[in-house]
Structure 1
């Protein structure tokens, strides 16, 4: 059996347990990437950073992942799998120990970049090994579904654990938990992998190390521009301007090398496929929009006053949606691969419903049960879309392109995530300013509504024993806070309306795409007769 290539005799007799072990190893690796995504305030206080610094620390790790990804697929075919994983896990432990003592944000960002490299080296290896445990007809669908379901849900799962840790002890205990997960990963590797896999090492012919280094610097510069650009007025700031010029020049050099080398990191011929480009556009739009869920989590914390524990616990409904949708996708795709267009249509339809629901129902006092609905819908839509879009992209390319499809899709996800971070920030600034200015006209002295509201708050506060002079000041503060909340709610509603319109447009395009393909297929069948 093919799985005996990597696994010892005992593990090969229990291949079901091996698959579970591989998923756990994958989780222990990916958990290092989004560990503080949902509890950012603790990182801000520990490192003396700003919110945008935390966003940068998150995304610079992703830059590390995509930088090493093409090399990783070559390295794992050359080195002893068990030794390779053990060394990388030990490197990950050292990085977490480093994070325990580092308070300087620049050093912390470097450690985060290296953490991304470690995450990718383990996750990429698990993707290849996981494929060997599956029968050929199910390899692509089930393997990608398992792998990317863990990718989609790991952030929330880790966030739930992290929120419990920080509510009970110090923030740095998170790193002890991450080290514990890595120790579990090491034990699983020792238990299931052969000491010497029964495979012939694939020679490392002409690895493009120069291209890898170019891409590393280019990805880091792009991350800096997209995270800090909106907050520094983009090219008006010299640091953003120089970083943008540097990133463009470096990435042009990278693409030139890929076009001219005999053995490039990625096969640029993939972009000759119209279907692949269309799939990439769907992926970019999907990942650019799916992060709107962060507005709901932010609303829960800032407006409803939920603790980080409550916010992350609500993410369980998102995880449930992802798992249920992924199960449906696997069943539908195994039954008939022609179900892929239907799954895409269903996914974008649910994503449309999710955004419309939030637009219509968002108020300052939504209950916990009410918020479960959009959180579940977003997870369900993500599960319906992620794997089908990836499969659509990969099957659009010939096998000669190797892992290029997955690599470019990973690049696309990185770009889409950065774009959504910058885009949502800009949209918030625009709509917040718009609504605040509209409120200012209604808060002018002498306005009847304002006077009634001031008298209401003043009377309530005086009934609680507060002096009249103090009650007036407090009532003004309450009105100002209420106005800020209302402008934020209207901003979120406006963003969700824009997203809903985009989803509707994509749905219509997909319908037209399906109709055109059906017409072409019918014409070809008629001409063949």
Structure 2
């Protein structure tokens, strides 16, 4: 009924004969790179983005969550399009659509246009990842090559935020925020030209018709994911369940997930095979991945501390984050070597989480209103090293814990857990920033009054300094009061950051105890068992 599969082994190859393997890998990764940059692009300078769109920082965070939700929700449905369309025309189609969406983001300032486009960009990113890595895995003959390519992809994903900060800091400082989308738009053009020149118009597998697309499950799943992101990002600002928008969102998630799970249990070919949750190693891997993602985004608080307390400009913050980027690269390389040596997963996780614990503890003592930026180089490198050491082995461990036939569902579950970890980390940070920061501010207000001798001395010193620089007596008193308020806000920022890092340190200690006391991990190794491993 269907034509014979067209693969790289028995028919016309996907890439033309003049394109060697190294060039194919360069083309595929060069196509991935602009899409990865688009992923966290609004977070490269969240204040500049919020100012450009006339919104608040939470809206910019939600735009990233929408991109992530589109990636997660469309992942399973995208495989049908991958099997239906020829690789060359499929690449050209979604690359052209990515250029079009970047053009829309460049020209719009309206959130009601920006948000849906970001979700659609996430869907296109799912197409890019699935097709690029699937074609790459079919060309890799050895286990070593597959694991190296897998590590490179996730290394690029981990490097997205510090890389974006470094590349876009000068651009955003010189032009409007939307210039970054113009740069992303032009970065796709060389990739598109190389694809058209180097690829044959063939399919890497059997062509399956596009009937019976499970768009219902995609819709239920995607809306639930978007609501999770909405609750986690705006929940503390709206006082959680006290606001009807949050209550309706929680109710919607419960109803949508109930319908979704009922559909999956009753369908012959479910959107996600729920039998993957029967495997103990898979569940342990998901737990570790979730915890790691919560701890991973603590570096955002450090960047906020650099900008608001130490008063470093975005360019200097991006330079400091190069140490974090170097740590990620080193961690991914070390983790890849340990996977190739088939080391036990405990010997990979333990050093990674110990490094993250060292980062959080050291930063707890390094937070201060005055500091030398050189003191933060090593902690940021340690944080990147720990994240890079944990990320790839955990995903490979989780996917390889289930049968090969369930690999796609396992990848989809890992992707969903990473999205939940991202949203929950934002929710926890927002809670500490809005609630704990205001609590500390009120505590300072209770003790700082005009009658306090220490306050009098500080204000009078600031007044004398301002008058010595030429300010009149009246305005100098008001300016000294504002400086005092800014100092109190800085102390609130410090205390909130210290509270958050203290909680993360306790969480990391609990994770280390779990890894150390879980006996089954002592004899569990991590390796790739399939040349057709699904990318997560």
Please classify the TM superposition score into its range, dividing by the shorter chain length.
over 0.9
Preserved contact between residue 36 and residue 159 of structure 1 (Cα < 8 Å): no
CA distance in 2, matches of 1:129, 1:29: 17
Following superposition, the deviation at residue 65 of structure 1 comes to 0.7
Q: 1:295 aligns with which of 277, 291, 301?
A: 301
Following superposition, the deviation at residue 37 of structure 1 comes to 1.1
Higher relative contact order (CA 8 A, sep 6+): 2
CA distance in 2, matches of 1:296, 1:469: 37
Does residue 129 of the first structure (1) align with residue 122 of the second (2)?
no
Does residue 163 of the first structure (1) align with residue 169 of the second (2)?
yes
CA distance in 1, matches of 2:134, 2:330: 25
Preserved contact between residue 86 and residue 203 of structure 2 (Cα < 8 Å): yes
Preserved contact between residue 5 and residue 199 of structure 1 (Cα < 8 Å): no
Instruction: Tell me which residue corresponds to 2:431.
Output: 426
Q: 2:247 aligns with which of 236, 241, 245?
A: 241
Instruction: Tell me which residue corresponds to 1:100.
Output: 106
CA distance in 2, matches of 1:75, 1:296: 42
Does residue 216 of the first structure (1) align with residue 222 of the second (2)?
yes
Return 5+ residue gaps in structure 2 as ranges.
1-6, 526-536
Instruction: Tell me which residue corresponds to 1:225.
Output: 231
Moved more, 324-333 or 96-105: 96-105
Moved more, 129-138 or 60-69: 129-138
1:238-387 to 2 correspondences below 5 Å: 238-335=244-341, 337-387=342-392
Instruction: Tell me which residue corresponds to 2:15.
Output: 7
Aligned residue for 2:85, secondary structure, equals: coil
Moved more, 458-467 or 377-386: 458-467
Matched pairs, number: 517
Instruction: Tell me which residue corresponds to 1:506.
Output: 511
CA distance in 2, matches of 1:458, 1:104: 44
1:5-84 to 2 correspondences below 5 Å: 5-11=13-19, 14-84=20-90
Preserved contact between residue 66 and residue 410 of structure 1 (Cα < 8 Å): yes
Aligned-CA RMSD value:
2.1
Moved more, 460-469 or 236-245: 460-469
* 1:47-68 deviations in Å (ceiling 9; x for gaps): 2111111111111111111111
Length-normalised TM-score, structure 1: 0.93
Preserved contact between residue 329 and residue 384 of structure 1 (Cα < 8 Å): yes
The alpha-carbon distance between structure 1 residues 47 and 204, as it changes in their structure 2 partners (threshold 3 A), is same
CA distance in 2, matches of 1:519, 1:53: 45
* 1:308-337 deviations in Å (ceiling 9; x for gaps): 2222232222221111111111112112x1
CA distance in 1, matches of 2:298, 2:205: 45
Preserved contact between residue 36 and residue 162 of structure 1 (Cα < 8 Å): no
* 1:462-498 deviations in Å (ceiling 9; x for gaps): 3334344433332222222111101211211121111
Does residue 146 of the first structure (1) align with residue 167 of the second (2)?
no
Following superposition, the deviation at residue 118 of structure 1 comes to 1.0
The alpha-carbon distance between structure 1 residues 109 and 198, as it changes in their structure 2 partners (threshold 3 A), is closer
Moved more, 203-212 or 57-66: 203-212
The alpha-carbon distance between structure 1 residues 517 and 329, as it changes in their structure 2 partners (threshold 3 A), is closer
CA distance in 2, matches of 1:321, 1:486: 30
Preserved contact between residue 345 and residue 521 of structure 2 (Cα < 8 Å): no
Following superposition, the deviation at residue 197 of structure 1 comes to 4.2
Aligned residue for 2:270, secondary structure, equals: coil
Aligned residue for 1:89, secondary structure, equals: helix
Instruction: Tell me which residue corresponds to 2:499.
Output: 494
Instruction: Tell me which residue corresponds to 1:194.
Output: 200
